[in-house]
Chain A
Amino acid sequence: MKHFLIKLFLILLSTWLCFEVVLRWFDLARYTIPTDQIGNNCMLKPGYSGLYVGGGFGEIQAKFTINSQGWNSTEDFNLISDSQTVRVALIGDSYVEGTHVDVENSIGRQLDRMTHNKTITHEYGRSGANIEDFNRVYNSFVKGKYDYVFVLLRDGNLNATSATFMNCGCSKEEHSSKSKGMIRSMYSHSAVLSYLNINQFLTENVQNMIKKIRENFSYSGSAASDVNAQGQTKVQTKQIPHKENQVDWDFGPEVIILYEKKLLNKHEIIQKIPEKHVFLAVNHNENDVLDFGFDRHWNSIGRKDCAITMFHAIRL
């Protein structure tokens, strides 16, 4: 038994070491972009640039550059008072933040190229942002300063109930738990852990497992609804209560909503916006591949499609 366990330990140890080498050699385990506190907002770390890597084999690789205000953009968002230039703001979540494509191929840059730089587009995108964040971004940075304001609204943006980055700060979350800090430190030292966390959601899965164990030992009700006809178990996840009606619609009349087909039609909120101010974000050719398959974020083609929609909206 002793020999077997030693042998197994050596095998697992050498596997870990080899895996670390493989991941570092092929650059498959990039760390998430660090955040920083700007005012009371949790922003991406200003001045930070690099390569975003996602997917098991690094299928997604894109350059990013964080400007001095904490947004993913090569330029700082300084407004120019040039009557020849149309000022455009785009507010959204990770689809606008755009770390899945090179920063030079973001929606805004593609729009600016389409208009031969007659527009200057600032993209206020932040991963995980929701409608409340959008409202705050609009009121803090955008309102009254741009000729056109677009909000890219997706299904998921309407489900959360409280802001995730605007007015919530980074530090209180990061320093609230010692274990969280320790886990992050482990990730930053081990490519294997980092890889597993990025691609297999290690932390989230461990948390879900602990939650499930707790539920299994304290729960005695029916579980029939958790199993489908094939006997596959669905992971129980806590549903965020849908409180769409409580979301304040605090945008000005100039705001144009871009949305994904079929995603928002069912939401009441879409009825509140004048019809001429609502556009499908992408009107694509059915043969076009707009995303990365396992990751539904748009690729360059998807973003170009969105830029075309904005282009048409501006010409109105």
Chain B
Amino acid sequence: MIAQSFDYESPGTIAEAISLLQKYGDEAKILSGGHSLIPMMKLRFARPGYVIDINNIPGLSYIKEEDGYLKIGALTRESEIEHSGLLKSKYPIFGDVSKLIADPSVRNMGTIGGNLAHGDAANDHPAAMLALRAEIVATGEGDQQRVIPIDEFFQGFFATALKPDEILTEIRIPIPPEGSGGAYHKLERKVGDYATAGVAVQLMLDYGVCTYIGIGLTNVSALPLRASRSEEILLGKTLTDDLINESAQYASEDCSPSTDLRGSEEYKRAMVKELLIRMVHRAMDRAVAE
């Protein structure tokens, strides 16, 4: 398994990287963690003429709270997310997600930016980002930054709202108010597998009433999916078992999984339902514990 030959560039600034993207156009691929790209290249499913390695651009790896946002640099490794004290204490949903991505060695390379920019509905961060209503910061020519709401980011099969000469540089999440909690889980055939189905839930409780809700689904539709009807029915209500059930039922109806080695469409719909119920409960527990 050997990749086809390519030219390698390792820019030291974003501006340099952007100009290389402009120069090489379709023939270029950005290398971040590389654990989606490199296997594809080894199998010769991907044959870029130019690989632009952004790992030597400083200042793209951080986890911080600033200006009312949790900000995560695009080159932040999954392992850094998994072990971050800030995320562990205030955003446990990130730990849920990271721990289930591939394995520890892959997580030492894999980046959150790459996980999102790959535009793969089977990846795990997209669902959580939908639940958290994240914003994607894209940097283009002249260091121009553009903020893309997560709901507009995923556009098609392995396609995102990033322009050919833009690089995903940051993820921003509005800091959830007190009383918030989130959770993610996926069913997998074995550890490190892509999801059979995954559900991310972020919510806020105010004296038992749900004042914020975000629900994202993994690998049960062509794009990472927001379970809108499931959110609507919960918002502003006291979360009873019946209500949660109904919400879960909506999600199982609104997703569009396909039958494959991981199970039938029907199974996946049922799993979305079950996981949604479990994740709402786990998020509620965490919201109360906050």
Are A and B interaction partners? no
Residues of B within 8 A of A (CB): none
Q: Which residues of A contact B (CB under 8 A)?
A: none
